[in-house]
A and B are shown apart, each in its own frame.
Chain A
Amino acid sequence: MKEELQQKNNDKTFFGFWVYLMTDLLMFAALFATYAVLRNNTFGAPSGKELFSLPYVLIETLILLTSSFTVGIGTIYARAKDVVKTSIFFGATFILGVVFLWMEVAEFAHLFAEGNTPQRSAFLSSYFTLVGTHGLHITSGLLWMVLIFIFILKRGMSDSSIRKLTLLGIFWHFLDIVWIFIFTIVYLLGAI
């Protein structure tokens, strides 16, 4: 009876989380659509081609992809209830996430320093908003990771902890997929 209930709880939580992710994806879809409409409206300000450095973004992308890999391995160890290995791989994910975020902030700071602020043109408004929203998601993912590990320190590897780690893993992969679209649509298409 108890296990059945637990199973049912897990079932609806995971399904609910997927539904939430789809709504989040639609939010990004609306942002992408806005970007697609406004990307050529530079109003005399520099365009993406002049602003983006592809090698830099490629490194960012590789870092995020690697973090997705580590989070996947971490989830597998979490299911095996191996606390040490779970911590190592989630820790690696956390560090990669911080590096990614730092690179993004550095890129934004660089653009700001040269006067290319979001206020300068519609293209820059939509660029900062789209990429910045992704960055905010990464930030909340990192915060969530810290909280889960505090929770694990207190309660150990309970079923609830495993569930939380798995959900976080799904969230992280989702952000990875969104980033691939950003990489393609914003940076690659912007550079040609």
Chain B
Amino acid sequence: MENFIFGKLTWEALPHLWFTIAGTVSMTIMGIGAVAALTYYKKWKWLWKEWLTSCDPKKIGIMYIIFASLMLFRGALDAFMIWAQQSISVGASHGYLSADHFQQIFTAHGDIMVFFVTMGFLFGLINFIVPLQIGARDLAFPFLNTLGFWLYVAGAILINMFFVVGGDFAAAGWLSIAPLSELQFNPGIGVDYWIWSLQISGLGTLLGGINFVVTILKLRAPGMSLMKMPLFVWTSLCSMVLVITIFPILTVTIALLNLDRLFGMHFFTSGFGGNPMMYTNLIWTWGHPEVYVLILPAFGVYSEIVSNFSHKRLFSYTSNVMAAIAITLMSLLVWLHHFFTMGAGADVNSFFGIMTMFIAVPTGVQIFNWATTMFRGKITFDSPLYWFLGFVSTFTFGGMAGVLLSVPPADFQLHNSLFLVAHFHTMIIGGALFGIFAGLTYWFPKVTGFKLDEKLGKYSFWLWLIGFFVSFTPLYILGFMGATRRLDHYSASTGWQPLFITAFIGICIIGVGTAVQVYQIIVSIKNRKKNHDTTGDPWNGRTLEWATASPPPFYNFAVIPNVKDSDAFWDMKKSLAKDASMSDMDMITNPEKVSQLLAEKRKNQKYEEITLPKNTPMGIYLSLFVFVVGFAMVWHIFWLAVICLVGAIACFIIRAFDDETEYELSAEEVKKLEEK
């Protein structure tokens, strides 16, 4: 009976180790703090009505970014703990972590950083910026957007639930490679948490992918043909096309692993005809394109920034678009380079090796295009451009390491070594994360109405860049010296310790850089009057998001603009400037004048009624049910899982058959709001 009610959940499963207790205590304190603050300032209703139930992609985008930032601290703490262990656990000393705990930490670091930090930031940026850049008021399916966000949150909470309820984190590496992740070798519930967390958040990602593909293809402003879309929209589209191509594969792979663990089937087991290499193949068919899902939007951010801060049209728009499309297609044909050592044979390995080298070509095209855009541009060195320049040097460096790894014989030496870890982090930190920081700095005034502090931004950039190289250069060297990844202990005779300590110093420098970023945000909020953006166009921008106020009204544009050029907003400004007989150079040196002309023009616009989606709490309810389903399945509490599954389906049905999901804003109301 007890088994029926509580499944595998027993008193012994509750937190009793120092780190789970610490986790429970810190989460409880933070929770009580948040509840107390909200109650004291009477903000519950405001939070619920204005934010949590909102279908506005701008608000959902901000929530994504806040949540991803929190997860970034969680993932960074893991990185810190990994290197702290590695720099002291040598010879007779075994460090401060047990081998098992160490395994959980590196698994958590990978999962959190990829699924909940990088993906969260990207979805945040895309949510906020893409509708503005294409001149849309909302996404194609506003409900799916809030649902996707809450599923992502549910997944992130579920994977951290072990802190509160007990059990442990998966200890099978961030991709839970089979057969290690099978019941036979991992009888705990860590892998089950992993399975259900990724299944739930992956569903959210898939819904987001469908939503953005339809939005970008169907809701563009009049006149914006595909080849007039801003580069960030293009790369987001490519990234989302990849999402809808690969996330179904992830769903299936994880589901099959779950069937193995739950019902004792034999997909990836080592007995009864199961094929563990099938898991490796399937997971990397998803996994390799996934890194391009992360990097492509970052490429788009760089394209926007380079063009904007060089005050020039992007060099060779068409080849940039072609490069993004080529990367999208080729990224689906390289997955096997993750396991050349599997023994697929020389022919197969050569094919995937050559494809991998080949994919560096379109990436190179983009880098040359950016460099050529800067050439003879009138460059202003603001902090977003710093992040870009840091990216180019880091990414090229890491890219060459990648081309080296793509040669199968070399890969046989470097497989599973720290060289690989260094390469991967160079690409993700130097590529995706720097892109996210660049994008956040660049679009911050659009989101909040004031710029970030430039000086502190540049300090944090230098700390990040130096910290990054201090951390990861030793890893390349260690890889050549034969250090494998995921080591919780090594012999003193290897002579690796100084390099590990250097890497640890590097992450401390990065930590200071992150602290400066936090301080930068606080200072910027305090001095917001000084950095106020009154025109909506603080960087003298070129694309449509700058054509509306900062922060944008909830309907984005009072009047949907007509687009004639890929740099649509610049084109509008230019035609106004031409009438006022200003030259291109005048437009760059005297943006205030152009803003005045724009403001005058706006006075005479004619407004029309606007249709917008109503807020809905259904996304939260549904995700809550799904969350409990996941939790109940992890602990084998089947009655609860069934009840909540029915609840989730009921929520979906109620929403799907609701025809009253939109409301109208009359032309007079828009006029009133605009004139305020």
Residues of A within 8 A of B (CB): 1, 5, 8, 11-12, 15-16, 19-20, 22-24, 26-27, 29-31, 33-34, 37-38, 41-43, 118-123, 125-126, 128-129, 147, 151, 155, 158, 160
Contact = CB atoms under 8 A, between A and B. Distances in A.
A151 B658 CA distance: 10
Contact of A20 (B210, B275, B653): B210
Interface string B238-260: 00000011011101110010011
Contact of B273 (A29, A31, A123): A123
Interface size grouping (class) on chain B: 35 or more
A16 B259 contact: no
A121 B260 CA distance: 11
A20 B211 CA distance: 10
Contact of A41 (B263, B274, B285, B653): B274
27 contacts: A16-B141, A16-B211, A19-B214, A23-B247, A26-B245, A26-B248, A27-B249, A30-B248, A30-B249, A30-B253, A33-B282, A34-B267, A34-B278, A41-B275, A42-B273, A43-B266, A43-B272, A118-B263, A118-B265, A119-B264, A119-B272, A122-B269, A122-B275, A125-B260, A125-B265, A125-B266, A129-B259
Contacts of B219: 12
Interface in B601-615: 609, 611
A16 B265 CA distance: 34
B210 A19 contact: yes
B202 to A, nearest CB: 11
A76 B142 CA distance: 30
Contacts of B211: 16
Given A34-B282, A119-B264, A15 B217 contact: yes
B641 interface: no
Contacts of A38: 267, 273-275, 278
A27 B260 CA distance: 18
A129 B256 contact: yes
Nearest to A123: B273
Contacts, number: 105
Given A12-B140, A20-B210, A151 B657 contact: yes
A23 B263 contact: no
A48 to B, nearest CB: 13
Contacts of A15: 214, 217-218
Interface secondary structure of B, over-half rule? helix
A27 B140 contact: no
A119 B273 CA distance: 11
Given A34-B267, A118-B265, A125-B267, A12 B278 contact: no
A40 B206 CA distance: 32
Nearest to A122: B273
Which of B209, B210, B271 has the most CB atoms of chain A within a 10 A radius of its CB? B210
Interface in B194-230: 206, 209-211, 213-214, 217-219
The 3 nearest A-B residue pairs measured at CB: A41-B273, A122-B273, A43-B273
Interface of B: 140-141, 206, 209-211, 213-214, 217-219, 244-245, 247-249, 251-253, 256, 259-260, 263-267, 269, 271-275, 278, 282, 285, 609, 611, 653, 657, 659
A28 to B, nearest CB: 9
A11 B256 CA distance: 35
Contacts of A11: 218
A27 B611 CA distance: 35
A19 B248 contact: no
B252 A27 contact: yes
Contact of B274 (A122, A151, A158): A122
A138 B657 CA distance: 20
A12 B244 contact: no
Nearest to B209: A23
A29 to B, nearest CB: 8
A129 B214 contact: no
Given A30-B285, A121-B273, 6 more contacts: A8-B218, A16-B140, A16-B141, A27-B252, A38-B274, A125-B274
Nearest to B286: A30
Which of A8, A20, A122 has the most CB atoms of chain B within a 10 A radius of its CB? A122
Nearest to B252: A30
Given A27-B248, A38-B273, A129 B265 contact: yes
Given A34-B267, A34-B282, A129-B265, A22 B244 contact: yes
A104 B217 CA distance: 40
Contact of A37 (B245, B260, B278): B278
Contacts of A24: 248
Given A15-B218, A121-B273, A129-B256, A30 B264 contact: no
A165 B259 CA distance: 34
Contacts of B267: 34, 38, 122, 125-126, 129
Nearest to B141: A16
A42 B273 CA distance: 6
Nearest to B140: A12
A182 to B, nearest CB: 15
B266 A119 contact: yes
